[in-house]
Amino acid sequence: MSIGELFDTCDATGIAAAVKRGEVTPGELLDEALRRVATLNPQLNAVTMLQEDVARRLIADGLPEGPLTGVPFLLKDLGAEAIDFPSNNGSRLFAETRYAKDSAIYARLKAAGLVTFGRTTSPEGGVGPTTESAVYGGPTRNPWNPGHTPGGSSGGAAAAVASGMVPVAHGSDGGGSVRIPASSCGLFGFKATRARLPDGPYVGEGWAGMAIDGFLTRSVRDTATLLDATNGIDLGAPYSPPPLEASFGAALGRRERLTIAFTTTNLTGDPIHPDCVAAVEAAAKLLESLGHTLVEARPVADTRGMMAAWTKVVACGTALSVEGAARRRGRPIAEDEIEDVARSAIAYARGVSGADYLESVNKVHAYGREMADFFAAGGYDLLLTATLAEPPARLGRFDHAGRDYVEYRMGKGMVFDYSPFTAAFNASGQPAASLPLHWTADGLPVGIHLAAPYGHDERLLGVCARLEEAAPWFSRRPSIRA
């Protein structure tokens, strides 16, 4: 089998097994990944901050013996701080930011044997369901249709994996930023229970505990492998999740009959796009065929109120980041250093008092209790919805130019209407996943979304593995691909 065939027919776990058997070397795999980036990135604009010399050095120094030794890998250009990998954080203000120490998540990825060689594009500050940041000179495009967004904020990671540049990539999720791109690019995206993965040492928590790292993959097995390699709190973490029953890898073999709630509306009862309805209905039938009991039910929770609180928390996080940078360098932010959504978010945050901020955090926490009560009172093991309320949006609809921050988040037809499901589970801290089980008539992916009670990551992953068996998606590839 050629290296190109290996990339196309094996997931990352399978590629690592080929390395272990001596069938391919890490250097050959890196050569192939770099070739694919050179070929595809001019069309997609998904990869940035290439560090080939660092990757060559990692290989020459001897890679750790881990579950993914030799597999080429990309970090999101937001978070995952690493000495060897400067970052733009999606912004001209933070271009070429360098770090004095490695983040815990990167240290664990490195120990897994991955060969990191660059970063993937993200929107400024990780805000929004698209990836069109000015620092990259143009939008990141969806390999299924380049006129549409690959999602955000891990849009570059999703475009890179879906097109076959790399088998897996790092992402992060503060309001759906792994699951939205997974849905938009026909991939698997899993958001673990709050604090399941480490945040340190640079932050104790992101966006009041709503943000967490994650991965974009083409197989459930790869996500399990990556989660097992990285899960667990880091030194000094402010809180910890319930312990795993066994491991993510062991969860792949779970076979249970569950009671699953589902809704074909959004969480406030409003209609969603017919393709998203069709995706949910087909998934419900598939789950029934696998022996599960499906019950039509929708959480009675103040989702819109939670999103208004989420909007305040994120605005304050944006102000902290940007104004902190201005203070450290001793001069104000220039007009062209940040985009309009960030500038508007900072102005909005100035009107949020400390008491307002804490009230917003309390609202988010109250929402988590409302969601927990829905699962417990109804006896539901999972909740099935669409991942997004529409198929992937056209580029430009959610860019940051000329936007008022609150309108961008909460206005009619804007972010909350487009993505009304994913942030709910960042707020509640519950595990949730997007699975690529549906495509529109014109070939755009539409994900379905499953969420589980707090701490029940393994149960959720097991169901995802059974759905992958029943309706495999690995071989389905976009029009722009290696």
How far, rounded to the nearest angstrom, does the alpha carbon of residue 459 sit from its chain's CA centroid?
A: 20
The per-residue DSSP string of 443-462 comes to S-EEEEEEE-STT-HHHHHH
Question: What order do you get walking across the sheet with 293-296 strand by strand?
Answer: 168-173, 212-217, 188-191, 432-439, 445-451, 382-386, 259-262, 293-296
Catalytic residue chosen out of the listed positions 76, 110, 191, 363: 76
The residue to which tokens 């010399």 are assigned:
53
Catalytic residue chosen out of the listed positions 172, 177, 321, 344: 177
Q: How far apart are the first and last CA of the chain?
A: 16
Is residue 76 annotated as part of the catalytic site, yes or no? yes
Catalytic residue chosen out of the listed positions 87, 91, 103, 153: 153
Instruction: Give the amino acid at 26.
Output: P
Q: Cα separations (Å) of 387 from 6, 137, 314, 435, 436?
A: 30, 29, 21, 8, 10
Contacts of 265 (CB under 8 A, 6+ apart): 271, 272, 298
Asked if 242 and 454 touch (Cβ cutoff 8 Å), the reply is yes
Give the C-alpha separation, 50 to 183, whole Å: 26
The residue to which tokens 């022996």 are assigned:
291
The residue to which tokens 């983040």 are assigned:
103
Q: Cα separations (Å) of 19 from 46, 62, 182, 474?
A: 26, 13, 27, 21
Give the C-alpha separation, 151 to 172, whole Å: 12
Continuous H helices in 21-51: 26-44
Give the C-alpha separation, 400 to 357, whole Å: 24
Asked if 398 and 128 touch (Cβ cutoff 8 Å), the reply is yes
Residues taking part in catalysis: 76, 153, 177
